[in-house]
Amino acid sequence: MPSFFIRISRGFFPFPRFGARDFQRQRRGAYARRLRVSAFTLTELLVSIGIIAILAALAIQGYSKIIASVAKGKCIGNLRNLHVCFAAYVQDNGYWPQQPDFSSAYSQQYQDWWLNTMDPYTQSREVWKCPLLKKLGAYDSEGKKLEIHYTPTRFDARPTTPYRWEKQPWLIEVSNIHGNGPLLLMPDGSIRNLTDLVPNFYGTKG
């Protein structure tokens, strides 16, 4: 290939002359090398998609557990607030609320009676509702939404009766929405699961 000499410092340096075709070949070669370096093979692409899918599934599962845990925490908070309300009612009146007989434990009259009776002690009727049951929907036998998600126990009119049995809950959640059985509000204000008191309730050993 013909070349010419350029003078550099004390001597001459041969510098080849390139034509247009030479530059095109050089550019195509560089582009091909870049493709070989940056391109994914089909196997690598499938492996990447698989890893992303696994991570996404784990993230969704973890998020669901967090949401369920937060909802259970709010439900426990509701029951503790209701314990304060019922204890104050007993202290003020000298007896547990004396519920009349109703045709159904979840009838509208039954729910209205408890809501109206405890309204002076509860700051909001939302304290009667489990956040998760409220979101998913809890219905009675007639298909109507329940307004209270915690069923109060019936006691007689003696002021000491609600505290007489330490394992007799004051309120019972209407559904096993959180797992391990419905939540129970105990006389001392603690919150238990049904399976804590009756390990074999669902036919499995605790």
Question: Mapping DSSP to helix (H, G, I), strand (E, B) and coil, where does residue 105 land?
Answer: coil
pLDDT digits (tens, 9 = 90+) for 34-80: 545 555 687 877 887 888 878 777 776 665 667 777 888 999 999 99
| pLDDT the model gives residue 204 | 54
Q: Model-level pTM?
A: 0.67
Name the more confident of 57 and 22.
57
At what angle are helices 108-118 and 42-93 packed, to 10 degrees?
70
pLDDT exceeds cutoff 50 at 140: yes
**CB neighbour class for 107 (10 Å; exposed up to 12, middle 13-18, buried from 19):** middle
Whole-angstrom distance, CA of residue 20 vs CA of residue 52: 46
Banded pLDDT at 206 (limits 50, 70, 90):
very low
